[in-house]
Structure 1
Amino acid sequence: MSDQSTQAPVVRRVDARHRYEILVGDDRAGLTAYRDHDGRRVFFHTEIDDAHAGQGLAAVLVEQALTDVRASGMRIVPVCPYVAKFLTKHEEFDDITDPVTPEVLAWLDGVLGR
């Protein structure tokens, strides 16, 4: 039996579910959800399961997700409050970050059926 606390987390993009997931061992510890719009990846929700809270996993998840967005040639729109806060401390993503606009919010609400 392996000790999950010693296993390095793994981040994977799950396009069919429009999200990135972070795994600790066999457990999905959290996710950050997105929708793509006009060459931009719009992040709208991030969560870490209570069992994995306080381990810094949200930062690992978001950093790897944003690095993947850069590699894909897309831009970032941080509707999610956690992603927005992360970006205030990580200026290395400034060059690919677009502001949240009323147009993006209206589009997202339509896509999500809100």
Structure 2
Amino acid sequence: MAVEVSDVPESKRYEAYVDGESRVAGLAEYIRTAELIAFVHTEVAPEYEGKGVGSALVRTALDEARAAGLRVLATCPFFAGWIARHTEYQDLLYQSRSKVSD
């Protein structure tokens, strides 16, 4: 099964397609600024769950964030969990510049 992922900026989301089908198999919605991209929602069609569509969405989106020099805010639980399991992407995570005082 081949998964193709592309950014659709006018819809503020990444879309995944499987085996050249025209139907969206999964999507990852985001909010983007000049310095940050926040992933807020990920959805995979039930028939594609567990088949790597979500992982392809996350990996592509994070690779493109890295290439663009963006920090990542993973408010979506799927993105947050995926990054937690793939430590090679944790350096992208947004860190607040303000310090909490005791």
Normalising to structure 2: TM-score of the pair? 0.85
SS state at 2:43 partner: strand
Higher relative helix content: 1
Which residue matches 2:100? none
Structure 2 Cα separation of the partners of residues 47 and 82 of structure 1: 9
1:78·1:99 contact (CA, 8 Å) conserved in 2? no
In 2: Cα distance, 1:53 partner to 1:73 partner: 30
Corresponding residue number in structure 1 for 2:70: 74
Indicate which of 31, 36, 41 corresponds to 2:37. 41
Deviation of 1:99 (Å): 4.8
Aligned partner letter, 2:91: D
| Runs of at least 5 residues in structure 1 that lack an aligned partner in the other structure | 1-5, 101-114
Cα deviation for residue 37 of structure 1 reads: 3.1
Counterpart Cα distance in 2 of 1:36 and 1:9: 24
Does residue 67 of structure 2 align to residue 56 of structure 1?
A: no
**CA deviations over 1:68-98 (Å, ceiling 9, x no partner):** 1101111100000000000101111122111
**5+ residue gaps in structure 2?**
97-102
2:17 alignment partner in structure 1: 23
The answer on 1:10 being equivalent to 2:8 is: no
TM-score computed with the length of structure 1 as normaliser = 0.76
Runs of 4+ with >4 A deviation? none
Does 1:65 find its partner at 2:58?
no
Which secondary structure does the structure 1 equivalent of 2:94 belong to?
coil
Q: Is the 8 A contact 1:20 1:65 kept in 2?
A: yes
Q: How many residues align?
A: 94
